[in-house]
């Protein structure tokens, strides 16, 4: 399967613990995006990378959240000191070119990581 | 922050009927894209329409875009039970607003056999 893969698919953690999610994009895609989605809502933008450079971060990405894409390939999203409000589906997507701006490209999404903080 | 408003929030139809979903947005866009999401799964791209296009077709899908009204519609013709899913519009923004997609709240479509 050469699509976007996310690991783990589900994560249950206790409040206050740290969690890390991994995303492997489609191999030739240089752009990688993280979104968060809560039940009944649309995906909310968190951050995106062009290769290894993190180009934009949403205000939703508090100091407890950090994302990396060290070699311009896979990416990790870490949440420190998790809170119950962090419970959500975390979606990763990748694209060959920009989805906006000068590009007109579709994004390919992974299946998501569902986080439950208890 | 959410860019789009979708209407209706939920739609229930019989198999064979057409389904129309509408999306309005706030800022200038480069393109507008529609995605589908089955329950608890990732999003699947359906169709992309550029800001200089007014209508686009793909199979049973027809998308229109009215940039003067900042709105788009997605029509699914001859719906099937397998079309049951949530549908989201997403806007690809212009140069100074970042290279990301901003999603609407979605329309939950239920097609009854």
CA distance A113 to A9: 4
**Helix or strand run (H / E) with residue A47:** strand A44-50
Length of chain B (residues): 113
Do strands A10-13 and A113-117 pair parallel, antiparallel, or not at all (unpaired)?
parallel
Q: What is the mean pLDDT of residues A23-33?
A: 94
Least confident range from A2-6, A80-84, A94-98, B50-54: namely A94-98
Do residues A107 and A33 make contact, with C-beta atoms less than 8 angstroms apart? yes
Closest-CA distance, A36 to chain B, in angstroms, reads 11
Mutant choice from A60, A100, A114, A115 vs B, greatest count of B C-beta within 10 A:
A100
- Give contacts of A44 with chain B, Cβ < 8 Å: 1-2, 103
pLDDT of residue A102: 63
CA A33 to each of CA A24, A49, B42, B83, B100: distance values in angstroms, whole numbers, following the listed order: 11, 6, 13, 26, 8
pLDDT band at A99 (very low <50, low <70, confident <90, very high): confident
pLDDT of the residue at A35: 97
Positive/negative CA dihedral, A53, A82, A110, B42: negative
At residue B1, the pLDDT reads 46
Long-range contacts of A62-71 (CB under 8 A, 24+ apart): A67/A34, A69/A32
Q: Compute the radius of gyration of chain A from its Cα atoms.
A: 14
> Hey, how many other C-beta atoms are within 10 angstroms of the C-beta on A33?
27
Taking CB atoms and an 8 Å limit, are B42 and A106 in contact across chains? no
DSSP per-residue codes, A56-104: EE-TTS-TTEEEE-TTSS-EEEEESS--GGG-EEEEEEEESS-SSTT--
Cα angle at A100 between A95 and A103, to 5 degrees? 70
**How many residue contacts between A and B have a Cβ separation below 8 Å?**
95
* Dihedral sign (CA B58, B62, B66, B67): negative
| pLDDT, tens digit (0-9, with 9 covering 90-100), for A35-76 | 999 999 999 999 999 999 999 999 888 899 999 999 889 999
Taking the C-alpha atoms of residue A94 and residue A25, their distance in angstroms, rounded to an integer, is: 6
Alpha-carbon span A87 to B12, nearest angstrom? 29
Contacts of A93 in chain B (CB under 8 A): 43
Task: Tell me which of A97 and B91 has the higher pLDDT.
Answer: B91
CB contact under 8 A, B93 and A98: no
What does the pLDDT average to over A17-43? 95
Instruction: Mark the ranges of chain B whose per-residue pLDDT is less than 50.
Output: 1
């Amino acid at each position: 399967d050469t699509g976007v893969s996310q690991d783990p698919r589900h994560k249950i953690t206790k409040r206050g613990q740290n969690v890390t999610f991994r995303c492997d994009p489609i191999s030739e895609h240089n752009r990688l995006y993280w979104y968060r989605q809560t039940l009944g809502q649309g995906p909310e933008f968190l951050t995106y990378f062009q290769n290894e450079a993190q180009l934009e971060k949403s205000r939703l990405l508090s100091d407890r959240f950090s994302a990396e894409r060290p070699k311009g390939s896979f990416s990790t999203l870490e949440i420190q000191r998790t809170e119950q409000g962090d419970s959500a589906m975390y979606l990763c997507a990748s694209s060959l070119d920009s989805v906006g701006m000068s590009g007109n490209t579709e994004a390919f999404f992974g299946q998501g990581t569902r986080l439950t903080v208890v | 922050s959410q860019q789009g408003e979708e209407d209706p929030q939920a739609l229930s139809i019989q198999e064979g009927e057409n389904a129309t979903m509408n999306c309005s947005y706030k800022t200038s866009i480069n393109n507008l894209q529609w995605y589908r999401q089955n329950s608890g799964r990732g999003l699947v791209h359906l169709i992309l329409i550029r800001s200089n296009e007014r209508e686009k077709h793909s199979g049973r899908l027809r998308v229109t875009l009215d940039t003067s009204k900042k709105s788009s519609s997605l029509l699914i013709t001859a719906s099937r039970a397998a079309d049951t899913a949530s549908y989201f519009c997403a806007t690809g923004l212009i140069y100074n607003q970042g290279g990301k997609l901003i999603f609407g709240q979605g329309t939950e479509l239920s097609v009854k056999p």
